[in-house]
Amino acid sequence: MADPGDELVFAPLGGVGEIGMNLSIYGLGNARRRSWLAIDLGVSFASEEHLPGVDLILPDIRFLLEERRNLVGLVLTHGHEDHFGAILDLWPQLQVPIYTTPFTAALFAAKRLSEPGAPDIPVNVVPLDSRFNVGPFDIELVTVTHSIPESNALIIRTPHGAVLHTGDWKLDPTPVIGSPTDEAKLKRLGEEGCIALMGDSTNAVREGRSPSEADVAKTLAELIKTARGRVAVTTFASSVSRLRSVAIAARAADREVIVVGRAMERVVQVARETGYLDGVQDFRGMDVFGYLPPDKVVALCTGSQGEPRAALARIAENQHPEIVLSPGDRVIFSSRTIPGNEKEVGRVINGLINQGVEVITDRTHLVHVSGHPRKAELEDMLRWVRPRIVVPVHGEALHLSEHAKLARDVGVPKVITCRNGDLIRLAPDPGKIDELPSGRVFKDGNILVSSDSRTVGERRRLSFAGYVSVALALTEKGALSADPDVELVGIPEVSPGGEPMADIAYDAVVQTFESLPKAKRRDPDTVAEAVRRSVRGAIRAHWGKKPVCFVHVLEVR
C-alpha cells in the first residue's frame, strides 16, 4: 500500500502543445522526495526560416538534472526521432539506465555508430509484451501498431493503481509487419482498473478510422505494376512496413529494389538484423541503377520532406551522382508533408515535373496512412481501458482540445489538459499541483544553447536587415583622427533616390559626431550610441528597415 501522504504524479517536459520533443515523467513519493521515471527523450526539427542555423530542438532537462539521483530509468516507447532523438545529446548528463525493445535498441545503436564521437550509451533490451520493474515502477509493455516496428504503450503499475501511457499508436488489423494493437490486454487493464490514460492526440481532429497499411500496400503494388519507366518511392526511412510493401510490389512486377540514401540503408540493415524483412529479396546498391532497364528498377529514396541534402532533392535537381530520372518515370511520395515543410516538398515536386517525371502523392492516391489514431480509434481505446482520468498529450493545442472533448463525450469522469512543465497529481485527489522548470534548448552546430540566448535572434535580425560596421578613431581632445570607416553587409547598395547607401551611412556618422557637444565627444560610449542610432535611423528613412549596427570607437594617443 501507499504510504500516507504519498502520491503518484505526472508531468510532460515536452510534447504537449507541439508535435515533437516528447519527454514525460512519472513521480512516486511526496513533495520532499520522489522517485522519477522518464518516458522518451525526443527532438523537434527546426524550420530554417524561424531559427536560422539551428538543427534540432531538445527539451530543457534542468529539472531532471536537479533530480538526477532520484531518476530511476528512461523507457523508450519506440524509435521515432520525436521520442528518442535527444538521447545522444542529453544522456551524458543524465547517465540514466535506458530500457527498450530490440528494434528500437538496434536502431539507436545504428544511429549512434553513424555519428562520429557519439558517446557509448548502454541500453537494457526488454522483450515485446514483457513486464519489468524500474525502481518502484512496475512496467508492462502493450504492443500497439504505429508507423515503425515495435511501438509500445506502457502500463505503469504503482501502489496507487495502474496508468496507461499510450505512446504513439493506432488500430490496424492488417499492419503488414508486427502484431495488431493488443486489444485483449487493454481490455484486461480495463477490468483491472486504470486510474489515468496519457494519450496520443495527433489525429484527434480526424473523423472515423485510419486506413490500413495493407490498403497502402495494394495501391503501391498497382502503381508499381502499371508503371512503364523507372519508379522511385520516397517514404520515411523508419516505416519498415512501407519498405516491405514496396519490396513485395517490386518483386511482383519483376523489378529490383535499389536503396538510395544513408538513413534508408541504416533502417534496412536494422530491419534485416531484427527479422522485419525476413522473406524479402535482397536489395541492390545504387551502382546498378544505371545498368538496369528502366522497367526493372524501383528506387527507395530518402527525402520525402524535401530535405535539401537528401537523395530525392538531389535527383529532382539532376544532381545525384547515380540516380537519374527521365520523362515518363514515376515518383511516388508514400508520405505526408509535415506542416512547415510544404515549400521544400513543393520545390522537389516541381523539379521532378520539370524533368517530365510523373509525381504521385497522397492527395490523389492512398499511398500513405498516418500512424496515429483518429476519433473512432480513440473511442475504442477509451471504451476498452475505461480510465478515470484522461490527460491528452502528443499534439498541438487544437489536437489536445479535440481529444479532451472526445474523452468527455465518451464519459470519462475527469479530463485534465496541461502544458509542458505542469505537474499533475494523478492519485490521490487528481489535479494540477505545481509547475516544473521546462522549455526548449537549441542544437546550434555542436553546441547546445538555451532558447532565450541572444545568438539565434541576432542571426535572424542579421538575415532580415543586414549589418553596418562603423569604426571611428578619436584623438585625446575628441576630434576625428581619420575618416570614419563604414561598411555595409546585406544592405541594398543604392537608395530609391539613387544615392549610395554607404554614403548615407557615412554622412550620418560624420554629422552626428560633429553635432555632439565637445565634452561628449570625449566619451567613447556616448559617441558610439549616438552614431549607432543615427546610422540605423538614416538607413531606415531610405530603406524602411533598420540594420544591426556596431560602432567601434578607438582612442588614438
Piece in contact with Zn ion (CB under 5 A), picked from 80-88, 349-357, 412-420, 506-514:
80-88
One-letter amino acid of 196 = A
* Bridge pairing between strands 440-444 and 54-59: antiparallel
The string over 67-97, giving b where at least 16 C-beta atoms fall within 10 Å of a residue's C-beta and e elsewhere, is: beeebbbbbbbbbbbbbbbbbbbbbeebebe
- In the bound state with Zn ion, the residue whose beta carbon lies nearer, of 329 and 402, is 402
In whole angstroms, the minimum distance from the beta carbon of 20 to Zn ion comes to 7
Q: Closest Cα to residue 554, out of 485, 468, 506?
A: 485
Piece in contact with Zn ion (CB under 5 A), picked from 75-83, 174-182, 459-467, 508-516:
75-83
Task: Return the number of other C-beta atoms located less than 10 Å from residue 429's C-beta.
Answer: 8
In whole angstroms, the minimum distance from the beta carbon of 80 to Zn ion comes to 4
In whole angstroms, the minimum distance from the beta carbon of 474 to Zn ion comes to 59
Beta bridge partners of 131: 140
Binding mask 157-176 for Zn ion (x = CB under 5 A): -----------x--------
What is the edge-to-edge ordering of all strands in the sheet holding 414-415?
Answer: 131-134, 137-144, 151-158, 161-165, 194-200, 389-393, 414-415
In whole angstroms, the minimum distance from the beta carbon of 278 to Zn ion comes to 23
- In the bound state with Zn ion, the residue whose beta carbon lies nearer, of 200 and 329, is 200
In whole angstroms, the minimum distance from the beta carbon of 271 to Zn ion comes to 16
Residue 67 CA to residue 24 CA, distance in Å, equals 14
In whole angstroms, the minimum distance from the beta carbon of 82 to Zn ion comes to 4
Q: Closest Cα to residue 359, out of 307, 316, 309?
A: 316
- In the bound state with Zn ion, the residue whose beta carbon lies nearer, of 67 and 82, is 82
**Where does residue 363 rank: exposed (0-12), middle (13-18), buried (19+ CB within 10 A)?**
exposed
- In the bound state with Zn ion, the residue whose beta carbon lies nearer, of 103 and 283, is 103
In whole angstroms, the minimum distance from the beta carbon of 19 to Zn ion comes to 7
- In the bound state with Zn ion, the residue whose beta carbon lies nearer, of 212 and 239, is 239
Residue 215 CA to residue 248 CA, distance in Å, equals 14
In whole angstroms, the minimum distance from the beta carbon of 373 to Zn ion comes to 12
In whole angstroms, the minimum distance from the beta carbon of 84 to Zn ion comes to 10
The length of the chain in residues reads 557
- In the bound state with Zn ion, the residue whose beta carbon lies nearer, of 158 and 337, is 337
Question: E-strand spans in 266-388?
Answer: 297-301, 330-333, 358-360
Task: Return the number of other C-beta atoms located less than 10 Å from residue 43's C-beta.
Answer: 27
Piece in contact with Zn ion (CB under 5 A), picked from 72-80, 272-280, 323-331, 416-424:
72-80
Question: Binder to Zn ion among 11, 72, 80, 172 (CB under 5 A)?
Answer: 80
Helix axes 501-515, 524-543, angle to 10 degrees: 140
Piece in contact with Zn ion (CB under 5 A), picked from 5-13, 79-87, 178-186, 271-279:
79-87
In whole angstroms, the minimum distance from the beta carbon of 348 to Zn ion comes to 23
| Contact criterion met (CB below 8 Å) for 130 and 102 | no
In whole angstroms, the minimum distance from the beta carbon of 394 to Zn ion comes to 6
In whole angstroms, the minimum distance from the beta carbon of 144 to Zn ion comes to 10
In whole angstroms, the minimum distance from the beta carbon of 290 to Zn ion comes to 36
| Contact criterion met (CB below 8 Å) for 365 and 198 | no
- In the bound state with Zn ion, the residue whose beta carbon lies nearer, of 76 and 313, is 76
Residue 311 CA to residue 360 CA, distance in Å, equals 17
Q: State which of positions 268-297 bind Zn ion (CB under 5 A).
A: none
Residue 397 CA to residue 303 CA, distance in Å, equals 28
Question: Binder to Zn ion among 7, 82, 140, 362 (CB under 5 A)?
Answer: 82
- In the bound state with Zn ion, the residue whose beta carbon lies nearer, of 18 and 82, is 82
| Contact criterion met (CB below 8 Å) for 426 and 194 | no
Piece in contact with Zn ion (CB under 5 A), picked from 78-86, 100-108, 353-361, 460-468:
78-86
Residue 2 corresponds to which cell in the numbers above?
A: 501507499
State whether the Cα torsion 437-438-440-441 is positive or negative: positive
Residue 159 CA to residue 64 CA, distance in Å, equals 23
- In the bound state with Zn ion, the residue whose beta carbon lies nearer, of 45 and 513, is 45
Cis peptide, bond prior to residue 428, ω within 30 of zero: yes
With CB under 5 A as the rule, give the number of residues binding Zn ion: 3
- In the bound state with Zn ion, the residue whose beta carbon lies nearer, of 42 and 547, is 42
- In the bound state with Zn ion, the residue whose beta carbon lies nearer, of 25 and 472, is 25
Residue 344 corresponds to which cell in the numbers above?
A: 521544400
- In the bound state with Zn ion, the residue whose beta carbon lies nearer, of 82 and 358, is 82
Question: E-strand spans in 17-59?
Answer: 23-30, 33-39, 44-45, 54-59
- In the bound state with Zn ion, the residue whose beta carbon lies nearer, of 87 and 227, is 87
Binding site for Zn ion (CB under 5 A): 80, 82, 168
